[in-house]
Every structure is written in C-alpha cells, then in structure tokens.
Amino acid sequence: MKARPWGRRKEPANSGTRGGRTSTRIWIIPLAALVCLPGTASAQSLRGSMEAMRAQNRQAREHDFTFMKAPSQVYRFRDQGLLVHLPGNGDYQLDDEVSFPYARAEVKTFVERLSSQYRRACGETLVVTSLTRPLNRQPRNSSPLSVHPTGMAVDLRRSTSRACRGWLEDVLLHLEGQGSLNATYERYPPHYHIAVYPRQYARYVARLSARRILAEEPEEVALPGRAETVSEQVMLPGVVRYEVRSGDSLWGIARAHGTTVDRLKSANNLSSSRIYAGQLLEVPVISR
C-alpha cells in the first residue's frame, strides 16, 4: 500500500455518502482537538514487518510491562489501576468480540482523541476490535512478539470508505513518524493493529497542549521571578489529567508518564505521597 503525502492542505478533504449522495467536506479542526499535525509520512508504510514487531516488543519491555498470561491477571491489573476501562462513547464503540475492554491509560487517551477527530472528519464511528488479550487468549496465528498481552495495543476496524481510510492512514503514518506508536494494516480480518508507546505518546500530547496554550498567550509570558519568551515556553511541562485507581502510587504514576514524584506533588499541592482512588491528578509531562 502506498503512503499518501500530506502536502500543504490544512486538513484532508473527505468524501462520504449520506442519503445516497456523495459530498465533499474540508474540515479545519482546532489545535486543541488535533491528534496530529501535518507532517511527512512518505518514509513509513503500514505494511508491517518482523522488525516492527520486535520494536513493539522492545518498547513493552523498556516500559517494564508485564505480559499477562490469563484473564485473572488482566482483572487484577484492572483492579490495581494498571489497566483502565474503555466503555465506548459517541465517537467510538467496541466490537462484540472484545472480551477484555481494558488497556493502558495512554491507549484510552489515544482512542478517545483519535475517534473524536475521526468522527468529525468523515462522520463515522471508530470501531475497536481488540484491546488487551492475555497470552492464553491469543489467536493461533498471533506472533509470539505480540504486545496485546501488555495492554499497550489496540486494533481498529478498517472502514469501507476510501476517504475515511485515507484520513486514518495519514494520521497513523504521521504519529508513527513522530515515534508515538507503530501501526500495521492486517488483512484477515481487515483492521489496523496499533501499538501505542505510552511515554512517547504522552509527551506528544503534551507538546500539542503547549502549542495550544501558546496560541492563546501573549508573546511574552511572565513567570515567577523571570520572563520567558514564547520559544522558551514550549519547553515547559504539559499537563495530562489522570484519575487515580485502586493500587496506584505516586511513584508508579510518575514513572508511567515520564515525570517525577516531586513534580507530581508540586503540581497538585500534595504535602505527602498519600493518594486515593477517584482522585484527579494533574500530571506534568516534559516535552522534548
């Protein structure tokens, strides 16, 4: 499959059908809602390879993720807050074959952000066909390197609309080029397998948030004790909101998001390391 360049357009022109008629729409999405920014995707493809599988597996191990062996381990990780529930919403839905609707927190963020823009771009609901799968529930033809048992992967159904496929593939190729994930188009059944790299993706989202903030700030931003120029402000931490789950610790949350316990405590005015389930934390993520 040949990758399509982004060119100079603001957003892809998407065609879809409604009531039997074909229409063409050009969508300009606010920066705050963007999953990606225009870039060059020509160097990547969605064909996949053994090296891509090794890269995904290597990322799982570098994140120190466990390859869950059985459903009982999936549920234990869910109860400890290491996996979060993806219930579906108006922008995405789960296929009936999804037995374990849980994933790493960054995967949920990815799905929610992507599906929101996808629905606005072409009017379709994104369909998730697989999330976490323990080792003893993997399909027979799955690779031993698969990262589905770690909770960092998601499979998305391939649309029958050429415009929607083109839009989604452009986005995946760009994010892959940014080092935030690795995506492969698989034919049987037709779907996109996506391994989200949690730390890298969280930093990517933080950079988008920083750019949105900059667009709303004056050229000079005064901070306590010093003045920062716009170019320096880009290096300030971005913030990701995180809901504390049972079993979470500040150390674990900080490690998962590439930050420190001290930054977490400072961002949330915490005098100790005690946190509780349901608590909302602002997690500073350093942009690089």
For the record, the structure tokens of 229 come out as: 């120029």
> What's the pLDDT score for residue 14?
39
142 Cβ contact partners less than 8 Å away, ≥ 6 residues apart: 148
- Report yes or no: 158 and 174 within 8 Å, Cβ to Cβ: no
Local confidence band at 287 (pLDDT 50, 70, 90 cut-offs): very low
Asked whether residue 43 carries a pLDDT value surpassing 90, the answer given is no
∠ at Cα 6 (3, 11), nearest 5°?
125
Distance CA 286, CA 288 (A): 6
Q: State the average pLDDT over residues 227-256.
A: 63
What's the CA dihedral at 178, 81, 256, 237 to 10 degrees? 80
- Indicate if the pLDDT at residue 229 is higher than 70: no
Q: Give the residue-averaged pLDDT of 174-181.
A: 91
Tens-digit pLDDT profile for residues 192-222: 999 999 999 988 888 877 766 555 544 433 3
pLDDT at 151 over 50: yes
| Window from 8-22, 32-46, 184-198, 259-273 with minimum mean pLDDT | 8-22
The pLDDT score that the predictor gives to residue 251 is 84
Closest CA to 130 of 112, 109, 152: 152
